Structure 1
Amino acid sequence: MKNIFILLGALTISFQFNAQEWQTPAIEGYGQVKYYEEVAELPDTSLTYKMIFNIENEKEKEGVNVGLWKIARTLNLLKAGNVVHKKIDIVGVIHGEATYAILSNEEYNKRFKTQNPNLKLLKLLKENGVTIFVCGQAMASRKIKKEDMNAYTEMALSALTVLPHYQLKGYALIP
């Protein structure tokens, strides 16, 4: 009987440990999360999560643009929190120092002598319903033509018009 209690205790501890492992339930390989059920606040599955991400920094996290990584993490957290796909509406707008993330592999390689590390993540985000815009003004100032873009982003007139447009439509701004 004592052995059964020891075994049950070990299994319980093992289960709790494994339940708190890093995971990527929505965007495989990016934006890892640890999910906890026993917290004071969890995503409200009755809400629709409408968010606009302002991506202006060239910093990287785990080899990709930190703003794109943040979108992946948000999707992973919402999925881990049982928010259904149809209740998630995420838009990102890339501008400023982050603008080069939208380049095709060929153009990125011409400019930086390496492959664009953001393409796989941009593809996964698009496949998961995320719309990524790039500021046309930022493209112009960096001498990026529309044909230099990758297939996973869309050109907008400017970030200065996209950001308030979505906020006025009820999207929460995520800096």
Structure 2
Amino acid sequence: MKRILFIAALSTSFAAVAHGQTAEQGFVKGPVLEGFAPAAAVDSDLEIPDDMSFKIAFDISEAADEGKVSRRFESVARFINMHAAAGIARERIEPAIVVHGPAAADLLRSADDEEAAPTAALVEALLEEGVPIYLCGQTAAAKGIGKDDLIPGVQLALSAMTAHAVLAEDGYSLNPF
């Protein structure tokens, strides 16, 4: 079954390219995080229960490519935007982010230099939307990062493992992507 779905998806992709479509056609930014994370509308066959809450923990360890917005943080924004655009009430969309390793660099304050830290604006937008972002305290200690070095609103956890354990206890599932 998986192979059939993969082949069907691949065929659809080739057909779209053959008709001159680009990957960006049909993808729209917003509606929650207006300047970030384009997503496409999909006529999904998977029914979403009306009372379902999307409590999802995202684990981010990869730093953004130099001069670019972190694809991993953008995935969180896309998660919010695509579900809101699909009619899921914003209060039912509850992502949380756990950061460790090299990705800690994406949580550092910049000297108002957007080029120095292009992910900062997205991190700030996620925080404004109420998305909790936890930095592994062990990573922070190893890298000499203090709370004053972080974008305001980013929280320290004892460790990434601890943050995931607490979030799991609170009903969050771990996003596998």
TM-score of the pair, normalised by structure 1: 0.77
Q: What per-residue deviation string (whole Å, max 9, x for no partner) do you get for residues 25-82 of structure 1?
A: 111121110112x331254442111111101111449921222111000001110111
Corresponding letter in the other structure for 1:46: D
Alignment of 1:71-86 (within 5 A): 71-86=76-91
Largest Rg, 1 or 2 = 1
Aligned to 1:13: none
> For the Cα contact (< 8 Å) 1:45–1:84, is it kept in 2?
no
Moved over 6 A (4+): none
Aligned to 1:166: 167
Aligned to 1:64: 69
Secondary structure in 2 matching 1:105: coil
Corresponding letter in the other structure for 1:79: A
Q: Structure 1: state its 5+ residue gaps.
A: 1-18
The structure that is helix-richer by fraction is 1
- Taking only aligned residues, the RMSD between alpha carbons, in angstroms, comes to 2.5
> For the Cα contact (< 8 Å) 2:67–2:117, is it kept in 1?
no
Query: In structure 1, how many angstroms separate the alpha carbons of the residues matched to 2:67 and 2:79?
Result: 15
Give the number of equivalent residue pairs. Answer: 152
Q: What per-residue deviation string (whole Å, max 9, x for no partner) do you get for residues 83-140 of structure 1?
A: 112212211011011011111013999xxxx521111111111121211011111011
Aligned to 2:41: 35
Query: In structure 2, how many angstroms separate the alpha carbons of the residues matched to 1:45 and 1:82?
Result: 10
> For the Cα contact (< 8 Å) 1:52–1:90, is it kept in 2?
yes
> For the Cα contact (< 8 Å) 2:98–2:135, is it kept in 1?
yes
> For the Cα contact (< 8 Å) 2:97–2:132, is it kept in 1?
yes
How many percent identity over aligned positions?
26
Aligned to 1:6: none
> For the Cα contact (< 8 Å) 1:105–1:115, is it kept in 2?
yes
Q: How far is 1:145 from its partner? A: 1.7
Query: In structure 2, how many angstroms separate the alpha carbons of the residues matched to 1:56 and 1:83?
Result: 28
Alignment of 1:144-159 (within 5 A): 144-159=145-160
Secondary structure in 2 matching 1:29: coil
Query: In structure 1, how many angstroms separate the alpha carbons of the residues matched to 2:171 and 2:157?
Result: 19
Query: In structure 1, how many angstroms separate the alpha carbons of the residues matched to 2:158 and 2:94?
Result: 21
Corresponding letter in the other structure for 1:57: E
